[in-house]
């Protein structure tokens, strides 16, 4: 097992370490890299415009770090796509990408389709609902990939109790992380407990990694990524960057229950595929309770964590990017 403290010390960054964007752009251009930003959306008209304006003005026009900014949408019924398009983003419906495949709805679907649609050697994913958006949400994640060839996957973390530069903040991750994911990782994948915020929605990844891993279409996509990348490349492939603070709307407990149930399905599925858990999973019904007029009613919610295969297995993708399917 890797020395986790040593890994944390050498693979954990603060975004302020990458303040010199001119030097970052020089390093990127020297390597001939293309970088794509994907903003997955569903009804984000209130925040998407601000994100597109900021990233275009600061990271395309002022400092040419990004080569494309794309919104990939699940089928919003508000003005998300119109707003994003008006402010200069490329906009796509996920269902229009690889249309010969049966369409599926979910954030993971958008992320997976981005691999086929976008051109970057590095793809950085940023959620579209961030109120305190800042260029650091991109440059803080892509910088370790530009400066360190061995790094393949960079995760964000923010606003938690950790000591950094003499300051102490309050905790390692959110509620689902600390109650579900970190205990599971502690039991089955102890090296992954070094990832401070495993469920963060912001990360940057090299194309050759993204095309080789499975993509659950729902809540389990980030958990699945960590398990598969760790299995294929080891902990040394990861890095993480402290982005200080992320402001977004907190979810109610019931919504977190749905998320946890989906993540648990994904965890068991991936662990079983790797031979770590042998028992099959059958149940897909989550049972929660709701009080209505002093009556306790059990809600039954079906959550099925479907997934997409590695993009490299899709023939249209291999043709588009001239890739070959490696023999197992």
- Secondary structure of 33-72 in the HEC alphabet? CCEEEEEEECCCCCCHHHHHHHHHHHHHHHCCCCCEEEEE
User: Quick one: pLDDT at residue 284?
Assistant: 76
Q: Is 62 left (phi over 0), alpha (psi -120 to 50) or beta?
A: alpha
Name the CA radius of gyration of the chain, rounded: 20
Neighbours of 313 (CB within 10 A): 13
User: Quick one: pLDDT at residue 247?
Assistant: 78
Compute the distance between CA of residue 297 and CA of residue 18 in angstroms, rounded to an integer. Answer: 52
Q: What Å distances lie between residue 7 and 46, 90, 186, 203, 293, CA to CA?
A: 39, 37, 16, 18, 53
Q: What Å distances lie between residue 144 and 62, 138, 186, 189, CA to CA?
A: 21, 11, 26, 24
Between 98 and 162, name the one with better pLDDT: 98
Q: Could you tell me if 85 and 119 are in contact, meaning their C-beta atoms sit under 8 angstroms apart? A: no
User: Quick one: pLDDT at residue 173?
Assistant: 62
Output the six-digit token pair for 296.
């306790």
Band of pLDDT at residue 304, cut at 50, 70 and 90: confident
| Residues above pLDDT 90, as percent of the chain | 72
- Average pLDDT (177-189) is 90
Look-up of token digits 């992380």? 177
When mean pLDDT is compared across 225-234, 248-257, 280-289, the lowest value belongs to 280-289
Nearest alpha-carbon partner for 317 in 119, 154, 32: 119
User: Quick one: pLDDT at residue 213?
Assistant: 97
Compute the distance between CA of residue 80 and CA of residue 45 in angstroms, rounded to an integer. Answer: 4
Nearest alpha-carbon partner for 14 in 138, 222, 165, 145: 165
Four-way CATH pick for 4-321: 3.50.50.60, 2.40.160.20, 3.90.550.10, 3.40.1280.10: 3.90.550.10
8-57 confidence digits (pLDDT tens):
989 999 999 999 999 999 999 999 999 999 999 999 999 999 999 999 99
Band of pLDDT at residue 297, cut at 50, 70 and 90: low
Average pLDDT, the chain: 90
Q: Could you tell me if 55 and 38 are in contact, meaning their C-beta atoms sit under 8 angstroms apart? A: no
User: Quick one: pLDDT at residue 109?
Assistant: 97
Q: Could you tell me if 242 and 158 are in contact, meaning their C-beta atoms sit under 8 angstroms apart? A: yes
- Report helix, strand or coil for 108: helix
295, β-bridge pairs: 292
99-132 confidence digits (pLDDT tens):
999 999 999 999 999 999 999 999 999 999 998 9
Band of pLDDT at residue 318, cut at 50, 70 and 90: very high
User: Quick one: pLDDT at residue 303?
Assistant: 79
- Average pLDDT (238-250) is 86
Output the six-digit token pair for 279.
């028992």
Nearest alpha-carbon partner for 49 in 84, 101, 93, 3: 84
Structural domain boundaries in the chain: 4-321
- Average pLDDT (240-255) is 84
Neighbours of 324 (CB within 10 A): 7
User: Quick one: pLDDT at residue 178?
Assistant: 85
């Amino acid at each position: 097992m890797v020395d986790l403290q040593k890994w944390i010390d050498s693979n954990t960054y603060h975004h302020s370490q990458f303040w010199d964007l001119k030097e970052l752009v020089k390093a990127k251009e020297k390597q001939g890299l293309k970088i794509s930003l994907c903003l997955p959306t569903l009804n984000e008209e209130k925040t998407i415009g601000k994100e597109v304006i900021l990233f275009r003005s600061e990271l395309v026009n002022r400092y040419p770090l990004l080569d494309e900014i794309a919104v990939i949408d699940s089928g919003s019924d508000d003005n998300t796509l119109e707003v994003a398009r008006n402010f200069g983003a490329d906009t796509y419906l996920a269902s229009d990408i690889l249309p010969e495949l049966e369409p599926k709805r979910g954030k993971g679907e958008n992320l997976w389709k981005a691999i086929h649609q976008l051109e970057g050697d590095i793809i950085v994913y940023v959620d579209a609902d961030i109120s305190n958006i800042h260029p650091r949400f991109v440059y803080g994640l892509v910088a370790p990939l530009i400066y360190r060839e061995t790094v393949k996957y960079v995760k964000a973390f923010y606003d938690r109790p950790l000591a950094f530069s003499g300051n102490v903040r309050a905790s390692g991750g959110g509620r689902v992380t600390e109650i579900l994911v970190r205990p599971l990782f502690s039991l089955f994948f102890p090296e992954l407990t070094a990832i401070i915020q495993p469920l963060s929605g912001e990360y940057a990844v090299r194309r050759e990694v993204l095309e080789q891993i499975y993509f659950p279409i729902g809540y389990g996509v980030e958990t699945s990524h960590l398990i598969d990348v760790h299995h294929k490349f080891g902990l040394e492939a990861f890095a993480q960057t402290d982005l200080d603070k992320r402001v977004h709307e907190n979810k109610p407990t019931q919504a977190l229950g749905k998320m946890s149930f989906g993540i648990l399905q994904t965890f068991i599925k991936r662990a079983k595929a790797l031979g770590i858990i042998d028992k099959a999973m059958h149940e897909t019904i989550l049972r929660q309770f709701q009080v209505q007029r002093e009556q306790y009613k059990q809600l039954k919610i079906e959550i099925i964590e479907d997934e997409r295969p590695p993009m490299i297995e899709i023939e249209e993708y291999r043709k588009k990017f001239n890739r070959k399917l490696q023999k197992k």
